[in-house]
Chains A and B, each alone.
Chain A
Amino acid sequence: MQYNVVPPEPWRAPVYQCEGEANIWSDWRKTATLVKHLTRRHLAARYRGSALGFVWSLLNPLLLMGVYTFVFSMIFRTTVPGVPYHVFFLTGILAWNFMSTAATNAAVSLVDWAPLLKKAAFPRLVLPLSAVLSNAINYVVTLPLLLLFNVLFGIVPTLSLLLLPGVLLLLVLMATGVGLLLAALMPFFRDLQHLIEALFTIWLFLTPVLYPMTLVTQNFPASLLPLYTLNPMVDIMRLVHAVFLGQPWPGWSLAVAVAEVLCLLSLSLWVFQRLALRVSET
């Protein structure tokens, strides 16, 4: 039984205003504390109950590296100018895994933490952000081991490693951009999860992780090459290879990739802020 009324026209857009003291909505320090707590929760959730937890996150790439080296290097005879294949592969796959796991974890963050969302009030953005941050910490921790591995096979670290923070930033922005967009849509379309796995696999094959860029420029028809480089991860991955392995630097196309990443990030932020508050209704 309802009263048949509607608000008076024109509608006043809803305004929620906080005055006075700093609270979680206005004080960035309090928001940062919350991000720190949630990041700790993400990391703990991953490693809870496993004594060698941290080692497992290396084991998967190492196993993959073994089998991919066998297939690509010995059966397909792929060669990478200047570096052994397994070094090339491990460097690439660790960076790729960081980006894709961070984006996937961010995507499911709103759904996984639903009990918190329905009953407590805080900026929704901290959930996907803390997911990306926990994966970033994971990645940074594995980097010394990667460098050691590379040194063992003859790749000496050079000054180009100074650009590492830049690479990290790019990967974080990419993961956040993709993750936020998926996170906003996931609570409304639950089967998106299955699609995400397939999409990331396709994306992996379209990026020079399993094969070097030189092979692409050799074998791809020149007219279609710009289409391939539309993928922002192409240039980001080339940057990763340049920084770690001394491969040729990407040219101006990197600037295009950065622009694409920033556009995606702005779009995702906009979509997320519009949709996130309605998650409590699902």
Chain B
Amino acid sequence: MNLVAHEVLRLEDVWRRYRRWQRRPVSLKEAFVQFFQRDGWRYEDFWALQGVSLSVQRGEVVGLCGANGSGKSTLLKVVARILPMTHGRITVKGKLATLLDLGTGFLPELTGWENIALNGAIMGLSDSEVARKMESIIDFADLGAFINSPVRTYSSGMYMRLGFAIAIHVDADILLIDEILAVGDAEFQKKCLARLQQMQQHGTTLLIVSHALDMLALLCTRVIWLDRGRVMAAGQPAEVLQQYCPSVVLPSA
């Protein structure tokens, strides 16, 4: 089923299961031993996503809120194709860039410069594109001389700055952001928010997971509340955030 006009992402009835076996062998030796034991073959299913359906239009900023363990990060990873889903259908139109966890795909031994090149290639940029954008990326990340040191020497704020700088230069149509905007000083947060708003005006779609409800209220055109893998509510930010957390005090827009 193809996407209708203006639709960039559609999830249809997406389920994801973690199956925990009673005794899971982590080595061949254990597997061999357990094969001959009768009672090791029971399992427990944990459904991280249960029947999530979602349709995102171009230019929307969708916020995901919910308690820890409600499936928000799992949802982003399934959309990014980092985790497989157990059932359902996802259709993506356009280029996808992700900002999941600090150090998104950074190899600790490589320098910042080398990691930019590597991540550019992973996100689908050609070598010439990376070369063209390199200066702008380094400028935005504002790491100074640290760009030439191995990233294992970076602080968490620096990881985030580098990751963010790369992700926004990929010219992605859809950007997935997972709870990392909280890290980073006030000045960089302002820079990020300004850049995100600029991207949104240019038609980039954003999917943001965050616990900073005031930021979600400010930035998002739509908010979805996930609880234990199910969509509890979706709609106007103010309403949904009020449902999710009745005691929250939201900034007036």
Q: How far apart are A6's CB and chain B's nearest CB, in angstroms?
A: 8
Residues of B within 8 A of A22 (CB): 124
Q: Are B89 and A30 in contact (CB under 8 A)?
A: no
Residues A118 and B2 in contact in the complex (CB < 8 Å), given A15-B89, A19-B91, A192-B28: no
Q: Taking CB as reference atom, which chain B residue is nearest A123?
A: B81
Q: Are A3 and B94 in contact (CB under 8 A)?
A: no
- Within A1-36, the residues touching B (CB, 8 Å) are 1-3, 5-7, 11-25, 27, 29-30, 33-34, 36
* Interface 9-residue window, one of B101-109, B137-145, B182-190, B200-208: B101-109
* Interface 9-residue window, one of B44-52, B191-199, B211-219, B234-242: B44-52
Residues of B within 8 A of A14 (CB): 84-90
Interface residue A122 (Cβ < 8 Å from any Cβ of B): yes
Interface centre among A113, A116, A280 (most CB of B within 10 A): A116
Residues of A within 8 A of B169 (CB): none
Compute how far the CA of A12 lies from the CA of B2 in the bound complex, rounded to whole angstroms: 17
Compute how far the CA of A122 lies from the CA of B91 in the bound complex, rounded to whole angstroms: 17
Compute how far the CA of A36 lies from the CA of B94 in the bound complex, rounded to whole angstroms: 24
Pick the contact of A1: B18, B89, B228 (CB < 8 A): B228
Residues A19 and B92 in contact in the complex (CB < 8 Å), given A118-B82, A121-B98: yes
Pick the contact of B229: A3, A25, A41 (CB < 8 A): A3
Q: Taking CB as reference atom, which chain A residue is nearest B25?
A: A189
How many of chain B's residues touch chain A, expressed as a range? 35 or more
Pick the contact of B88: A12, A37, A188, A195 (CB < 8 A): A12
Q: Are A37 and B121 in contact (CB under 8 A)?
A: yes
Compute how far the CA of A206 lies from the CA of B99 in the bound complex, rounded to whole angstroms: 50
A-B pair number, CB within 8 angstroms: 141
Interface residue A277 (Cβ < 8 Å from any Cβ of B): yes
Pick the contact of A7: B25, B28, B86, B98 (CB < 8 A): B86
Compute how far the CA of A189 lies from the CA of B104 in the bound complex, rounded to whole angstroms: 26
Residues A116 and B28 in contact in the complex (CB < 8 Å), given A2-B47, A16-B81: no
Q: How far apart are A169's CB and chain B's nearest CB, in angstroms?
A: 26
Compute how far the CA of A44 lies from the CA of B117 in the bound complex, rounded to whole angstroms: 14
Residues of B within 8 A of A45 (CB): 109
Residues A3 and B92 in contact in the complex (CB < 8 Å), given A27-B124, A119-B100, A277-B84: no
Residues of B within 8 A of A191 (CB): 27-29
Q: Are A20 and B93 in contact (CB under 8 A)?
A: yes
Q: Are B91 and A17 in contact (CB under 8 A)?
A: yes
Compute how far the CA of A117 lies from the CA of B2 in the bound complex, rounded to whole angstroms: 29
Q: Are A17 and B105 in contact (CB under 8 A)?
A: no
- Within B161-181, the residues touching A (CB, 8 Å) are 173
Residues of B within 8 A of A18 (CB): 91-93
Residues of B within 8 A of A2 (CB): 46-47, 228
Q: Are A115 and B27 in contact (CB under 8 A)?
A: no
Q: Are B27 and A16 in contact (CB under 8 A)?
A: no
Q: Taking CB as reference atom, which chain B residue is nearest A15?
A: B89
What are some 5 contacts across the A-B interface (CB < 8 A)? A14-B85, A20-B93, A29-B126, A121-B80, A191-B27
Q: A12-B88, A24-B122 are in contact. List 18 more A-B contacts (CB 8 A).
A: A2-B47, A3-B230, A5-B50, A6-B45, A7-B86, A11-B87, A14-B86, A16-B92, A19-B93, A23-B96, A41-B118, A116-B122, A119-B82, A121-B82, A122-B122, A188-B26, A191-B28, A280-B83
What are the 8 tightest A-B residue pairs by CB atom distance, in nearest-first order?
A120-B105, A191-B27, A19-B93, A37-B121, A277-B84, A20-B93, A7-B87, A15-B89
